Chains A and B, each alone.
Chain A
Amino acid sequence: MDFRDSPAEAEFRVRLRAWLVDNNPGLPASSTDDAYWARQAEWHSALYDAGFFGLSWPTRYGGHDLPTVFDVILDDELAAAGAPPRPSLGYLVQGMSTHGSDAIKDRFLPGLISGRDRWCQGFSEPDAGSDLASLRTTAIHEGDEYVIDGHKVWTSYSDVADWCFLLARTEPDVPKHKGLSAFAVAMDQPGIEQHPLRMINGITSEFGQVAFDGARVPAENMIGEPGEGWRVAMTIVSHEREPGELGYVARYSKTVKELEQAVRADPDAFRSDQREGIAWAYVQAEMLRLHVCRRLSERLDGVDHGPGGSVDKLLMTWVEQAVGTAALDVSGSRAAVDTDDVALKVYLYSRAQSVMGGTSQIQKNIIATRILGLPTG
């Protein structure tokens, strides 16, 4: 058991730290400001071009084939520098790597990883949230193509996406989990329209809704086999729940650091409950950082696509919400009088963490039945 950097890791850390001195874009947090999203692609490319992104992914697809724990260092240093977190798309890489054919992987992974191609994930629908398998978007086989009709929502980054990792019903007459398939759908075509979703904290750039009206996708763009869509989706969501895949630790640590600086600048201006709230948020953020160290170390034995991500997701949610609450409590009256108060936005955004990527209640169902082996009711 060793939490210390190996020589290679230490060298990487020094190199990254030096690079960040001149290349921190100084963007506001993704959770609170559309200005982040306007320059997210630029940040992704910069990080990738400098050799600091896609660390554990195969070199064949533009990654670096490094041990998974290098991502811990990336998150550490991004947080320490106050830089934005790494782009969160590891779950799509996992889904495509696990289920895609060599042709699919060769064609799509390099652009996904480098940021040259922007991707969104078309899973949730207005009537298919927690019950994802009941989704109604159809993909009907016509010649060499599939024709897509339906409506997706909570589609992250749909406004800038070149491609959509779409889950659609290809076989309406089989049980709901068995009739789904996954596709890489080009977003720039007449049959697709997307609209932004405005979150309760006011941001409009992260999530969108997408209408498919006779959109077309070549059959060769199917990811996995016909009917494999549910398994593809489960691989993706299991990783979408992992802080180690998402890199959110950097965002939490950065916020805690800012709260600590605010209090240190004027210690007497804060009540003991506000101070304790920050100390607790620090403990929570540290817990998640160390939990990610442990999970990514366990991955040195090989990646597991199992239900453990649900545990990590709940831990991450508790951290985000502890940090959000501490920010709001420290902000105090400012949040009440200023619509643009950042702490207010951090807090309001944190409420979504127990819903996005699968609600906390769904995670608990998964833990109870698949990890604890309790009987279903």
Chain B
Amino acid sequence: MSEPLVQIKNLKKYFTVETDLLGRPTSVLKAVDDVTFDIYNGETFGLVGESGCGKTTIGKMLVNLYRPTSGTIIFNGQDLTALNDTKRREYCRDIQLIFQDPYASLNPRMTIGDIIAEPIRINKLLPSNKVEARVNYLLNCVGLANHHRNRYPHEFSGGQRQRVGIARALAVQPKLIVCDEPVSALDVSIQAQVLNLLSDLKDEFGLTYLFIAHGLNVVKHISDRVGVMYLGKLMEIATKDELYENPLNPYTQALFSAIPTTDVTRKKERIILKGDVPSPIDPGKGCRFFSRCFKAFEGCGETFPELKDVGGGHRVACRLYDGI
């Protein structure tokens, strides 16, 4: 953990929901609203939050599937948002994505070998006579055999398909891999296998992960640092141990109190939130969690608090800690 590999600064992504007759936006969905954080070289950064909080949108902006509305993404010292399309495509090759649904992320009409070889061929990373050996090597890395090369995706199980997806992401020798809920579509027994595989590959290839998930146990298992998102805003960032031991933001507290535990002697107090998640369309200018917060006080609905360092790299966005 030395240099930040990725620096995300004031990143915003707004989607236009409705336009008037002249095409001017009248209703805007703020999927990611002013998010700032760093990912350090060699770490696994976990990003948690409930569905629709914008964590996948951040991942898609990193791999150039979405263009940010504003803000900067500095990757390896290069501002990706300042590049033109061709250049950005080139730089973004070092950032790869592992998809959530292993059933939709593989082309059903291509063999496994072709799927893994495609990124190598497209980017002309190897002479064509060496591609096959490389594909075999990648297959072995993710725990598949050489003879799987000539099969089609429908002949594989979900876990195996996800391994193929991982091999494809590794094919271009990326520096950063965005794992977009890579295990949430898998059986629990397979989840552990894939997570261990990801950990092993990280050491072997010297990777950095941005691990997006909503399973808190999964994130705890694999992450070094964790960020918590709610409705497009980053609520809290800390190292894994610090965050799970000492969550400061009321939203984080409520979220973590919902982790099921197998320890019957430990009576945990569950914080039950009232109401629904408010719409990300026009959420108001105050704290996003204000309407459901059990510790809200006067003034919370007026301005969104900045992320504040409370010591040891633990940063939290909540007015409760304004005095510290």
Answer yes or no: are A and B bound together in one complex: no
Interface residue ranges, A against B (CB under 8 Å): none
- The chain B residues found within 8 Å of chain A, CB to CB, are none
